[in-house]
Structure formats: C-alpha cells, structure tokens
Amino acid sequence: MNFAFSAQESAISQFVEEIERQVNEAKAGAVQDAADLAVKEGRANIATAGFSSRWQKALTSRFYPNKDEGDPAALIFHRIPFAGVFERGITISGRPLLWLPIEQNLPRGIHSPSQYGKKLVSVNIAGKPPLLFDAFNRLRGPLFFGTRAVDIRKRFDLFRIFERAADHMRQFYDRRIKG
C-alpha cells in the first residue's frame, strides 16, 4: 500500500501565520484587559480610601506589545511618586521633631515653618507637645506642633487587586481566542 501526500507549502505557511497572529492578538488583548481591570478596581480602592479624583486618575497603565518577542506586558503605576506610602504604611520621624501645621491658624499654602517666613517662637509646656507661635502675633494661636514621629497607616490594597487581575488573564485570553 502506498500513501502519497501533497501539500501546498504556501497554504500551510499562511495557516500557521494566521494562527500565530490570532494567538498574539489574544495574548496582547488579555494583557490589556487585565491592566484595564487592575486600573479600574485600583481606582475604586483609592476612592474607597477617601482620596480625591486626582489621586484616582493618577493610577494608570502603559501597554508594551513587544511584538518581536511575542510577550506583551503592561506596567501599572501611580503618577504621584509617594503614593506607595499608602500601599505599605510608613513611620515618618522628625530630626528631632516633625513640625505639623495647624491649618486653621495658618494662611493658605503654608505647610511648614520654613514656608511661613516669619520669626517663630517655641512654647513648651510639660507633658504637652511643643508649639510654634508667630513671634509678633501670638493671638493668632499656635501655628505648628512638634512630634517625634507620625505613623501613616496602610490605606490602599493595590497589590492584591493587581494579583486578582493577573489571575483573570486565562479567562481574558480564552474569551479573545474564541472570539
């Protein structure tokens, strides 16, 4: 018994290229879908923590198709550089004291003693935090109080959200490949 097989190499080549294109598009689409989900849920998490729409919109993603390697990627990041503080929590220590503003007694835009620009005097009462007053207008009330450290608690849970979005990659890929 003899078997003969004849195939058009160009047809097979076109078929394989089409399958590769569909797979690459599905991979890229799945990565974009996961990034979109992570950003959407991350922004909701930031909103739940009580941060403004500016903070919410600052969470964004950038897509890298990497067509040559066939390995698409997405980078999810926050445009406000110190946002990670609210993901982990942190203790900020003074040297020796950290001066915190009492905003109701300060002009707008002043957040530190160096920004105040006028002479300040310290009032120290035993058992109470030290206070800074305007040297020439003490009736204004205390402008700053001193503390050794401030604990900023964790407010976001973005890493967990990003992991959950990555766990959905298979579903996103399956939905796109089945088309």
Give which of 163, 162, 167 is closest to 59, Cα–Cα: 162
What local confidence, expressed as pLDDT, does residue 1 receive?
Answer: 62
Which residue has 């973005």 as its token pair? 158
What local confidence, expressed as pLDDT, does residue 3 receive?
Answer: 64
Record the tokens describing residue 7, joined without a space.
């195939």
What local confidence, expressed as pLDDT, does residue 102 receive?
Answer: 94
pTM: 0.77
List of the chain residues with pLDDT < 70: 1-7, 179
